[in-house]
Structure 1
Amino acid sequence: MTFNQEFDEHGVWRKQFALRLKLLSEWLSDHDLLEAGVRERLDQLHAQVKNDKMMVAFVAEFSRGKSELINAVFFAGYGRRIMPASAGRTTMCPTELGYDAEVPPCLRLLPIETRLQPQSLLDWRNAPDKWERVDLDVNDPQQLARAIQKVAEVRRVSQAEAASLGFWNDETPNENPLVGSDGLIEVPKWRHALINMAHPLLKQGLVILDTPGLNAIGAEPELTVSLLPQAHAVVFILAADTGVTKSDLGIWREHLSVVGEDKATRLVVLNKIDTMWDALSSPEQVQLQIASQRSDSAEILGLSPQQVLAVSAQKGLLAKVSRDDKLLQASNLMELETALGEGLLGQRRRILADAVSKGIQSLRQETGRLVHTRARDILEQVQELDGLRGKNTSVIKQMRLRIEQEQADFDASGAKIQAVRSVHLRLLKDLFAQLGNTHLKSRVSELARALKQPGIKLGVRRAYGKTFERLAVDLNRADQLAAEIQSMLEGSFKNLNAEYGFSLQPPTPPQLSAYHKDLALIEKSHLQYLSLGNALRLAQPEFAERLARALMSRLRVVYDTAVNEVELWNKSAAAQLDAQLRERRRNFTRRIEAVSRIQQAAGGLDERIRELQSQQSQLNLTDAKLAELTNHLLAEPEAEAIAA
C-alpha cells in the first residue's frame, strides 16, 4: 500500500481503538470498577492513541526539489502546488504542517528578529500572540497556496544585522551569503512557520517538517538538536544527476547520520530523475545510470541500497493531477510512498501497538485484582454465614462482636499503613528531586558558563563531556532509587498481604535506564557545534546562547517524560492500596449489616447467603466480560502490529 493508504488504515485503527476504550471505560464505571489507578491507566492509553503523532522531516540543500516532493506525496489532491516550489530558494524557514482541532486553519509565522531575544523556540510556541497569523481557506487551493507562499519571504539587511541574526560571520567568508549591489544581505523574514490545516493525513496525526538549506539549518541549533532528532522518519533529498555533493554530505554527517537500528528511520531520495531521461540514451542505459547513482549514494551515506530511491517529484505531481498512470509509473513516486508506508510508518505503528498492548495488560491486571478481591470477600462472607446455620442468638451476637473487634483492630492499624506511605513518599521525594528542573539546571550550569565565555571557547568540549557524564550518573542514581522504592513496595505489600489478606502487587517500575539512549542522542546532536570547524560560529555570543537554550529545552523534555513515568508508577501503587483499603472497610460494613439482618429475622440467614451467591455469580460474569473486553482490545494492537 502507499503511504496515504497505510496512514488512512492506521487512522481507522486509532479511531476504533479509542471507541472501544471509551466503551470499556463506561462499562467499568457502570460496574464500580473505575478506581483511581484504573482511570489513570485508561487516560494514559486514550492520550497515547489520540495524541500519537508521526513526524516526517524532509531535509535537503537548496534546489533539490524538497517542497515539490511534499506537494507530490501529500497535496496532489488539491490539483496544484500548495508548498512553494518554484526555481531557486523556496522554503526559507523551518515549516511544520500539522493539525490541532482547537486552532482554526491558519499559517503562523515567527519573526526572524526573535533570535535576538533570550526565549527558546519552545518558549515562543507558548506565546501565540507573538506570531503573525494568516487565516487559511482549506477549500480554496489558490488562497491556500498564496498564503503559504509567505514561508519563502526574505528581508534585506545590513551585514551587522545579518551577523546579529546568525547569517554572517567575518571569520568564515566562504559560508556567508552574497552581498547585493546595495550592500545588503538577503535573510529569511521568518524564523519558524506553523501551518494548521485539516488535511486528512494531518488530522490523523501526521506532522510534516519542511526544512531550509544548510545555512539556515546551521544558524538555528534548536532545529538540529531538538526538532530533527524528534522526527520519527527523515527523508533526505539529493539531485539524481549530481548524487551526493560536498554540501549534501555536510548536512548528512553533521545533522542526519545515525547508527544501528536507527538507520531504518532514514530514507534518501534521488530526485529529478527526469533530467536524466535522455533521447540519445536508451531506457536501459538511463536505468543503469540511475541504479549506479543509487548504489554510489548508499555507499557514501552508509545505508543499504533499498533505502535510496530515485524519483521525479515534479513528474509524479503532474501525473497525479492529470491522472496519467504511465507518467506516474515512470516517476517512481509510488515506490517512495510504499517505502514510507510499509517501512517508516510500519515501524512507528509497531512501536505504538507494543506500548498500547503493555498498557492494556497492566489495566487488566489492576482491574482483575479488584474483581478478585471482591470475589474473595464474598466467598469469606458465605463461609462465615454458612457456619451460623443452626446456631443460637448468643453465637450470632458473639460473631457480630468479633467482626466489630476485627474492624476496630484494622482501623487501629492505620498507623502501620501510613508508615508504609511515609517511607514511600520520602524515597519518591528524593527521586523527583533527582529528575527535577532545579537539579537539571545545576548540572548544566558549568556548560552554560563555558558557553557564555567571550571569544573562542577552548574548554567548552570538556565541560560538555563532563555535563553528560554527570547526567548519566544522575540517571543511574534515579534508576537505583526507583529500584529501592520497588524493593520497599514489594516487601511492604507482601507483609500487608500476609497480615490483612490483601492481594497487592507492585506495578512494573519505570525503566529509567532507557533514557540513557535519549541522552546519547542529545549529546551526539550537539557535538557537531563543538568541533574546530564551528569554533568561530560558537564564538558568537548570540549563537552560543541559542545553543544553550536548545540543549536545556531538549533535556527538559526527556526529564519531564521520565517524571511522568514515575508519577504513573506511583499513582498505580497508591491507587491499588487505596482500593483494597476501601474494599476491606466496605467488607466490614457488609458483614455487620448481614449479621444484623440475621439477628432481626429468622429467615435472614438463608436469604443473605442467596444474595451473596448471586453476587458471586455476577462477579464471575463480570470477570469473564472483563477478559472478553480486554482480549478484544489486545487483539486490536496485535492486528495493527501484524499489518505494519
Structure 2
Amino acid sequence: MAEFKRWRDELAKAIGDYRTWMEQQGLADGAEDLRIYELIEGLKSDKLTIALVAEVARGKTELLNAIFFADHGERLLPSAAGRTTMCPTELRYDEKEGPCVKLLPIETRKTALTIAEYKRTPIHWTTIHILKPKSVEEVREACLETTRTKKVDVREAEELGLYDRKRRDGPAPADGMIEIPVWRHAIINYPHPLLKQGLVVLDTPGLNSLGVEPELTLSMLPEAHGVLFVLAADAGVTKTDMEVWTRHVQAAKRGGRFVALNKIDVMWDELQDDAAVARNIARQVDETAMTLHVEKSNIFPVSATKGLVGKVKGDAALLARSGLPALEASLAGDVIPARHAIIRDRIVYDISGRIESSRALLESKLTELERQAEGLRKLGGKNQDAIHKMVAHVRQDRQKYDKELEGFQMTRAALTEQANILFGHMSLKSFDELIAAARRDMQESWTTHGLKAGMVTFFGGAAARMDKVAKQAEQIRLVVERIYHRLHDEYGLAEIRPTALSLAPFFVEFKRLEERANGFRDSPATVMTEQHFVIKKFFVTLASRTRQLFSECNEATKNWFRAIVMPVFAQIQQHKAAIDRNLETLKTIHAGMDDLGERIAKLEEARRDLRAQLDVTERLLEQIHRPLS
C-alpha cells in the first residue's frame, strides 16, 4: 500500500511538473490548466476500496479488528455476540475532517436522495468527534453507534421500506413495534496508517440490509476494487450465504474477489494431529470452491480471533496458524495492481497524450527554426536584389496562408458545431429526457413489470446515445486527421495522429449496471414481494448512478475534443507566427546586411532551447509511464 501511494504521489508530481512546464512555455490555457488540476486533485484524493460482505455471525467485524486495529491491543470495533453492524459502514480517513464518526439518520430513506448525494451535504449527518484517537475507550464508544437500533410502529417501518407485511410468515409483533437501525450509513474517519494512505474499507450489514439499500448492490459493491466474502468454516456455505454471494458478490465483480473461510479455530482438535486438522480444513476449502465456483487459491482459511490474539501478544506461531498473513498478502498483491491498472488506463493515457501533443508542437517549431536558419545561411554573399526577391516571395506565402486561415476558421466553426451536437447526446438534458421516457413506459407503476418496461427504455436509450457519441466522435477525429495531414503535406508541419475517443470503460460500466439492474429486478425477493418502496428506491438509485456516468462520459468527451483540436490550431497559429518572423527578419536584413550573422546566432540559440525542451518532454513521459515497483 505504501509503495502504491508513493507511485501515485510521484505520478501526481510528474503531472504537476508538466503543468508548470506548460506555463513556462506559454502553452497553457484555462481549460487545459483546469483539466490538469483535476487530474492531480483526483490522484491526491484517490481511494482504494475493499468491501467486506457476509451474513450475520460470520466474524466479519472481528476480521476487521484483526487486520486493521490489532496495534491497539484490544478490539476497537464492536464484535461481541449480539453487537452487529446495522448499517453500511465505511472506514476511511480524510485529514480535513479529523477523527470522527459520521452518521446518516435512517429517516433519510424517505427522501429520493442517494447516500452518495447525501455525502455532498454534510448538514444532514450527525458527527461524533473523537478527541483522543489513541484512546481505545473513546473510539470504541463512538463506533458502537453503528450497532444501535430503535423500535418504531409498523407504519413508520413500512414508510422507511424496512418492513413489508407480505414478506412476513406470521402476523406483526404483538406490540406492533418493529426494530430498525438508527442509522442508514456510517463513516468512521480514523487515522490508521493504511486508511491515511487512501485505503477505504466498506463493512456491509447482512442480507436483509443489502436487499433494502439498492445503492449497495448498484454502486458501492461494484465500485469496490476488491470484495472479501466472509464465511464461517463450521457452517460452510449456507443457503443465505449462497444468496448473498450470487446476488451481491458475483454481480459486483470489478476487481478481485476473495473468500475468507473464518473461524477455522473451531476445527482445531487437540485429539488430532496437525496433518489431520489440515486435511479437514483443506476439504472444507475444496467444498467451498466447488459450491461458489471459484479457484481454491482465492479461498483463505483464517481465524480472525486467533490472528488478533497472535498480533496483540506477539505470538508469531499463532498468527501464522491463523492464516491471516496469507489473506493480507493476497489482498495487497491483487487489489493494488488492479487499482494501478485503472489509473494507468485512464489518467496515464490522458496525460501522456497531452504531452505527446505538446512535443509535436515543439518539433514543428524546431522544424520552422531550422528552415529559417538554413535560409539565412544561404543569404550569405547574396546581393540586395536577391534578398528583395526573397522578401516578395515570403510576403506572397503569407498572403496565401492568410487565406488558408480563413478556411481553417470555417473548419473550426464547423467542428465546434459538430462537437456541441456530440456533447448533447450525453448531456444532463438528454439524461433527463431518457428518465422521463422510462417513467412514462413504467406508467408510474412501481412493480417488477413496470420496472422491466422502464429499464428496456432506459438502457436501450443509453446504449443508443453512446453509439451516436462513438460514431460522431470518429467522424470528428477523421476531419482533424485530414487537417493534420494537409498541414504536413503542404507546409511540412508535424503530422500528429489524433487519438480515438475511448468509450470502452463507459460501455463496460453501463453493461455492468444493466446486468446488476436485471439481477435485482429478476431476484425472487423482488418478484415475490413487489415491495413498491424498494423498487422505487432502486429506480432512483439507478437513475442517480446513470446520471453520474452520463456526466463522466460527457466530461471525458469534452476533454478528448479539446485534446485533439487544440494542437492543430496551435500549429496553424504557430506557423503563421513563423512566417511573420521570417518576413520581418528578411526585411531587416534587406535594410542592412551587417546583422545576418547575429540573426543566425539567435536562431541557433532558440534551436538549442527547443531541443532542451524536447528533452524535458521525454523525461516527463518517462516519469508518467514509470511502473509500479
- Structure 2 length normalisation: TM-score? 0.93
Does the C-alpha gap of structure 1 residues 412 and 42 become closer, same or farther in structure 2, counting only changes over 3 Å? same
Aligned to 1:194: 187
Structure 2 letter corresponding to 1:228: L
Aligned to 2:328: 337
- In structure 2, the gaps of 5 or more residues are none
* Alpha carbons 1:530, 1:538 under 8 Å: kept: no
Whether 1:403 and 2:394 are equivalent positions in the alignment is yes
* Alpha carbons 1:486, 1:506 under 8 Å: kept: no
Does the C-alpha gap of structure 1 residues 456 and 563 become closer, same or farther in structure 2, counting only changes over 3 Å? closer
Whether 1:213 and 2:206 are equivalent positions in the alignment is yes
Whether 1:114 and 2:111 are equivalent positions in the alignment is no
Does the C-alpha gap of structure 1 residues 391 and 542 become closer, same or farther in structure 2, counting only changes over 3 Å? same
In the aligned structure 2, how far is the partner of 1:100 from the partner of 1:577? 42
Structure 1 letter corresponding to 2:140: A
Does the C-alpha gap of structure 1 residues 51 and 538 become closer, same or farther in structure 2, counting only changes over 3 Å? farther
In the aligned structure 2, how far is the partner of 1:509 from the partner of 1:151? 47
Alpha-carbon shift at residue 107 of structure 1 (Å): 1.8
* Alpha carbons 2:104, 2:185 under 8 Å: kept: yes
Alpha-carbon shift at residue 610 of structure 1 (Å): 1.8
* Alpha carbons 1:155, 1:186 under 8 Å: kept: yes
Deviation per residue, 1:176-201 (Å, 9 max, x gap): 9x976644221110111122233222
* Alpha carbons 2:107, 2:160 under 8 Å: kept: yes
In the aligned structure 1, how far is the partner of 2:425 from the partner of 2:22? 37
In the aligned structure 2, how far is the partner of 1:126 from the partner of 1:77? 33
Aligned to 1:231: 224
Secondary structure, aligned partner of 2:56: coil
In the aligned structure 2, how far is the partner of 1:182 from the partner of 1:299? 45
Secondary structure, aligned partner of 2:50: strand
Alpha-carbon shift at residue 38 of structure 1 (Å): 6.8
Alpha-carbon shift at residue 416 of structure 1 (Å): 0.9
What does 1:207-286 correspond to in 2, within 5 Å?
A: 207-258=200-251, 262=253, 265-286=256-277
Does the C-alpha gap of structure 1 residues 115 and 421 become closer, same or farther in structure 2, counting only changes over 3 Å? same
Whether 1:26 and 2:17 are equivalent positions in the alignment is no
In the aligned structure 2, how far is the partner of 1:74 from the partner of 1:584? 59
Within the candidate set 137, 140, 143, 1:145 is matched to: 140
Aligned to 1:493: 484
Deviation per residue, 1:492-533 (Å, 9 max, x gap): 332344344433524212122443321221112122332262
Structure 1 letter corresponding to 2:97: V
In the aligned structure 1, how far is the partner of 2:123 from the partner of 2:35? 35
In the aligned structure 2, how far is the partner of 1:413 from the partner of 1:611? 29
Aligned to 2:80: 86
Alpha-carbon shift at residue 455 of structure 1 (Å): 6.8
Deviation per residue, 1:240-261 (Å, 9 max, x gap): 10011111111111111149xx
Deviation per residue, 1:440-485 (Å, 9 max, x gap): 2333334434657457543432442343233223322221111111
In the aligned structure 2, how far is the partner of 1:128 from the partner of 1:452? 35
Within the candidate set 2, 9, 31, 2:3 is matched to: 9
Secondary structure, aligned partner of 1:515: helix
Secondary structure, aligned partner of 1:229: coil
* Alpha carbons 2:499, 2:564 under 8 Å: kept: no
Aligned to 2:567: 576
In the aligned structure 1, how far is the partner of 2:278 from the partner of 2:324? 15
Identity of aligned residues (%): 31
Does the C-alpha gap of structure 1 residues 80 and 597 become closer, same or farther in structure 2, counting only changes over 3 Å? farther
* Alpha carbons 1:154, 1:189 under 8 Å: kept: yes
Aligned to 1:382: 373
In the aligned structure 1, how far is the partner of 2:523 from the partner of 2:321? 45
Structure 1 letter corresponding to 2:138: Q
Secondary structure, aligned partner of 1:102: coil
What does 1:162-181 correspond to in 2, within 5 Å?
A: 162-174=157-169
Structure 1 letter corresponding to 2:265: D
Structure 2 letter corresponding to 1:54: L
Alpha-carbon shift at residue 33 of structure 1 (Å): 5.0
Aligned to 1:421: 412
In the aligned structure 1, how far is the partner of 2:216 from the partner of 2:118? 14
Structure 1 letter corresponding to 2:180: V
- Structure 1 length normalisation: TM-score? 0.90
Whether 1:530 and 2:521 are equivalent positions in the alignment is yes
Alpha-carbon shift at residue 631 of structure 1 (Å): 2.3
Structure 1 letter corresponding to 2:154: Q
Deviation per residue, 1:364-410 (Å, 9 max, x gap): 42122121111111112112222322333344344444434433443
Within the candidate set 97, 112, 122, 1:128 is matched to: 122
In the aligned structure 2, how far is the partner of 1:288 from the partner of 1:221? 40
Within the candidate set 55, 67, 70, 1:61 is matched to: 55
Deviation per residue, 1:577-611 (Å, 9 max, x gap): 23213322432342234234424543201111122
* Alpha carbons 1:36, 1:575 under 8 Å: kept: no
Does the C-alpha gap of structure 1 residues 242 and 142 become closer, same or farther in structure 2, counting only changes over 3 Å? same
What does 1:580-599 correspond to in 2, within 5 Å?
A: 580-599=571-590
Within the candidate set 36, 44, 50, 2:44 is matched to: 50
Aligned to 2:436: 445
Secondary structure, aligned partner of 1:207: strand
Matched residues, number? 628
In the aligned structure 2, how far is the partner of 1:402 from the partner of 1:455? 76
* Alpha carbons 2:352, 2:624 under 8 Å: kept: no
In the aligned structure 1, how far is the partner of 2:527 from the partner of 2:349? 49
Structure 2 letter corresponding to 1:91: T
Q: After superposing the two structures, state which structure 1 stretch, 480-489 or 588-597, moved more.
A: 588-597
Secondary structure, aligned partner of 2:186: strand
Deviation per residue, 1:11-68 (Å, 9 max, x gap): 1222233334434443454444556787577546534533332111001111111111
In the aligned structure 2, how far is the partner of 1:216 from the partner of 1:628? 51
What does 1:436-585 correspond to in 2, within 5 Å?
A: 436-449=427-440, 453-454=444-445, 456-531=447-522, 533-535=524-526, 539-585=530-576
Secondary structure, aligned partner of 1:270: strand
* Alpha carbons 1:266, 1:307 under 8 Å: kept: yes
* Alpha carbons 1:41, 1:359 under 8 Å: kept: no
* Alpha carbons 1:45, 1:359 under 8 Å: kept: no
Secondary structure, aligned partner of 2:150: strand
In the aligned structure 2, how far is the partner of 1:423 from the partner of 1:24? 31
In the aligned structure 2, how far is the partner of 1:185 from the partner of 1:340? 39
Secondary structure, aligned partner of 2:300: strand
The higher-RCO structure (CA 8 Å, 6+ apart) is: 1
* Alpha carbons 2:204, 2:210 under 8 Å: kept: yes
**Aligned-pair Cα RMSD in Å:** 2.6
* Alpha carbons 1:92, 1:152 under 8 Å: kept: yes
* Alpha carbons 1:475, 1:513 under 8 Å: kept: no
Does the C-alpha gap of structure 1 residues 583 and 518 become closer, same or farther in structure 2, counting only changes over 3 Å? same
* Alpha carbons 1:60, 1:213 under 8 Å: kept: yes
In the aligned structure 2, how far is the partner of 1:460 from the partner of 1:622? 58
Secondary structure, aligned partner of 1:603: helix
Alpha-carbon shift at residue 301 of structure 1 (Å): 0.9
